[in-house]
Structures are given as structure tokens and as C-alpha cells.
Structure 1
């Protein structure tokens, strides 16, 4: 078996650990069900797994290192959104050398966005919104030259907006809204196109021609 596609049903209970016995799987689509419990670590046995979508369930616990922390899985797409995962995004996420899309939005994740995210050089779509991430946007984001979409809205991120984001020439959407960013907004390249950049809800941001001691500039 190379694909397990069971999305959009009313499946209950935990994802069985025996799923790891299906070692030839390329695709696992279990989204939009009622699964609960944790992600079975046995998924790492699916050595050919490229696309994993278990979004829109009732899953909880932390994101296992067996899934994110190994470079042996050829994962291209990971969607864990709309669950109740907690803890941090593992630093080892940078081991996912083939990853094109990561969606961990709408969970209860916290901690800082790991600096290692800049090692995911093929990444095009990164959805981190509606969690409790804190700290600054890592400067290593500037290494993601092919990034098309970055959404970190509705978190607790702070600090200045890294000027390195200006270098992401292929960005089609940048959503930084409803965080605690402060200082001047970059003005070059992507930041010139207000139709693709959202900054609302950051009361300590201001634009270059304003006095950056001002509040509620945006």
C-alpha cells in the first residue's frame, strides 16, 4: 500500500501505532476526522512518506521528534493544523531538507520559532498562525529564498521585523498581524506592496517617516 486516504469521515479513537507497519506509504491523509490522542512515533517507520495531513482532528501532545527530527523521511508536505498540539516546534525541524509546506497553525504551540527553520531551503509555504509562539522572527528566515507565503499572525511574537525578509523576492503573502512587533517597518521590495503584507494589530510599529517613539502607528 502506498496511500492511506481516509479524510472527511467520522473516525474516532487514536491513530493506531500499527500504521508504522505500512512501510511503503507515500501519502497519509487522515484530516477532518475525530481522531484523538498523540501522533504515533511509529510513523517514522514509513520511510517513503512524503505527504502527511492529519489536520482538523482532536489530536494533542507534542510534535514527536521521530517525525520532525529525522532527515530519513522524504517529507514534502506536513499539515498538523487545527488540532491541540502543545509544546515547542522542535529545533530539529531544520532536518527536513525536502519540505515544501509546513502547516502547524491553529494549535497551542509555544516557545520560539527555531533558528534552524532557515535550513529548510526548499520551503515555500509556512503557516504558524494562531498559536502562542514568542520571541523574535529568526533572522535565518532570510535564507528561505523560495518562500511564497509566511503567516505568523495571532501569536506573541515581538522585537523588530527582520530586514532580511525584504530579500524574499517570491513572497506572495506575508501576514505578521496581531503580534507585538516594534520599531520601523522595512520599506524595500516586498514591503512596498501593501496588498500582500498585513501588519495590523502591532501597536508599536511605525513607518520610516514617522517618529518611532509613537504608539498605535499601525
Structure 2
């Protein structure tokens, strides 16, 4: 194809039923900037000759059946793409690549803004060299088998707005280096094997809107500074070992829509200030050790559609204020042990 279309700059083939391998002639289209093969049935290895596309800006092959045939199981095509010095978007999600990230991933283009490699069978640690990609805005490696710890070199991602490492096997503590990322809006580290405390300095990252730390082994209390993230929209810390009581400062989350602190070890009562969360649609506090009464102030939470307080030690009567809810649209679970 490249030999017959030498002036081709953009190639969009996404959303079809194409099969076979990437044409070996594509790298001959030396002016190609956009290569979009999204959502097809392409198979085989990703040819190293793609590194000849020196002007390539977007490489999008998500949702295909590409694999890695290297004996070392290293994703060697990434090494060849380091020749593409204008590369800005690398989207390889949902392919059975089943290989290791090369240590040289940090040699990719300094212009790279987005890496999306979710559900691709990646089975390695995250190389520390990834910190060289200092212009990254988005990084997604969710639903893989990543191991090891999160490298501290993430502190160089000063432009990063979104990171998704959900559903891996990452160990260790949440590095405080995340606190350097003052443009970060979305932090997803759920369903890993993280332990230790939530870094208190995360409360300084005021751009955070979505935080998912569910199903880890995090312990201790949520730091006081965290409750100052007044613009947060979704917070999921369910399935950890968080302790202490819910502070009155929970009422600071006035913009929040989803709050899930279930399956932890919270004690004490539900603070009346929770009624200030008037945009909240989902509240999950089940399977803790909460005590006392359901606060009457919850009558102010008129947007609530999901309320789960089951399996706690709450007592007394369910307050009359719950009659304010449109029961037909609200899932309420209020079972106690």
C-alpha cells in the first residue's frame, strides 16, 4: 500500500471486519502520521518496520488480535517505535500481546502524550525509565498482570491528567511522588496489592476528581488533608482495612456523586454533615462497624439513588426523613448484623 500511495498521511481502517496481518508495505508510506486499525480482527506480530514511519503521530491498534512472537516475550515493537520521534498517541488496548514492557520504553518519543495498553496481557513490572516520558497526559495499563512497585520516577509526569493501573498485581505503598502531579484529575489504582497508608500529601492535589483505590490492603485512616478535596466527584476506597471514624469534614465533598467506603473497619457514627452532599447519587458504607443512628440530615440528599448501610451496628428506627426519597428509583439496603 505504501509503495502505491507515497503521499498518504492518514489511514483510517477502524471499525471493520478486516483480518490478516499488517501489510508489510505500510512502512513505505513514509509520510504517514495517523495509522488507525481500531476494532478489527488483525492478527500476527506488529512489524518492527513500523519504526520507519518517522513522522507517525498516532498508532492505534486497539481491539484486535495482535500478538508478540519474540522468544524473549519482550514487546519489541515498542523498541522499534522509538524511532518515531513525533509519536503522540500509542493505543494498543485489548490485544493478546502477552509480553513484557521493555526497559527502553523510556526511549519513546518525548512528544508522547497518551499510552493506552489496557487488557493486553502485559506481565512485567513498570520500568523506571517510563519517567522519561515527561509529556504524558494519559497512562492506562489497567487489566493486565503488572507486578512490582509503582516506580518513583512517575514524579516527572508533571502534565499527567489521568493514570489507570486498576486490576493488576502491583505491590508496595502508594508512592508520595503522586503528590507532585498537580494536574492529575483521575487516579485509579484499584484491585491491586497495595498496602500502607494513603499519602497525606494527596490532599494537595486539588485537581483530583476521580480516585479509585478499591480492593487493596490499605490501612490506617484516610488522612485529614484528603477531606479538603472539595471538587472530587467519585471516591472509591472500598475493600481495604481503613480504620477510624468518619469525620465531620466529609461534608466538604459538596460536589461528590459517588462515595464508596464499604468493606472497611470504620467505627463510630455517621456524621450529620453528610447531609451536605446534596449531589450524591451513590453512597455505600456497608460492612463496616458503624454505630448509632442514621442522621436525619440525609433528607437533604435528594439526588441519592443508591444507599447501602447494611451489615453495620446501626440502631434505632429508620428516620422519617427517608420518606423524601423517590423509593422507586432508589436502592436502599439497611440491614444490620
TM-score (structure 2 length as normaliser): 0.58
Q: Residues 25 and 159 from structure 1, CA distance in 2 versus in 1: closer, same or farther, beyond 3 angstroms?
A: same
Instruction: Say whether residues 1:90 and 2:215 are aligned partners.
Output: no
Q: Alignment partner for residue 294 of structure 2, among 155, 161, 171?
A: 161
Q: Alignment partner for residue 18 of structure 1, among 131, 141, 153?
A: 153
Partner of 1:210: none
Q: What CA deviation, in whole Å up to 9, does each residue of 1:136-167 have, x standing for no partner?
A: 01111011111111000000000111001111
Bigger radius of gyration, 1 or 2?
2
Q: Does the CA-based 8 Å contact 1:36-1:58 persist in structure 2? A: yes
Q: Does the CA-based 8 Å contact 2:201-2:225 persist in structure 1? A: no
User: Residue 244 of structure 2: SS of its match in structure 1?
Assistant: strand
More strand, by proportion: 1
Partner of 1:205: none
TM-score (structure 1 length as normaliser): 0.88
Partner of 1:74: 207
Find the aligned partners of 1:154 and 1:142 in 2 and give their Cα distance: 21
Deviation at 1:28, TM superposition (A): 0.4
Partner of 2:327: 193
Find the aligned partners of 1:117 and 1:93 in 2 and give their Cα distance: 10
Instruction: Say whether residues 1:32 and 2:147 are aligned partners.
Output: no
Q: Name stretches of at least 5 consecutive residues in structure 1 with no aligned partner.
A: 203-218
CA RMSD of aligned residues (A): 1.4
Deviation at 1:185, TM superposition (A): 0.8
Q: Does the CA-based 8 Å contact 2:243-2:266 persist in structure 1? A: yes
> Which structure's relative contact order is higher, taking Cα pairs within 8 Å and 6+ residues apart?
1
Partner of 2:307: 174
Instruction: Say whether residues 1:112 and 2:234 are aligned partners.
Output: no
Deviation at 1:92, TM superposition (A): 1.8
Q: What CA deviation, in whole Å up to 9, does each residue of 1:185-204 have, x standing for no partner?
A: 112334672852111125xx
Deviation at 1:20, TM superposition (A): 1.1
Q: What CA deviation, in whole Å up to 9, does each residue of 1:59-98 have, x standing for no partner?
A: 000111011x22x430000000000000011222221021
Q: Name stretches of at least 5 consecutive residues in structure 2 with no aligned partner.
A: 1-135
Partner of 2:199: 64
Q: Does the CA-based 8 Å contact 2:174-2:194 persist in structure 1? A: yes
Find the aligned partners of 1:6 and 1:190 in 2 and give their Cα distance: 43
Deviation at 1:47, TM superposition (A): 0.9
Q: What CA deviation, in whole Å up to 9, does each residue of 1:5-27 have, x standing for no partner?
A: 11111111100111111110000
Instruction: Say whether residues 1:2 and 2:174 are aligned partners.
Output: no
Find the aligned partners of 2:336 and 2:216 in 1 and give their Cα distance: 25
Partner of 2:254: 121
Q: How many residues align?
A: 200
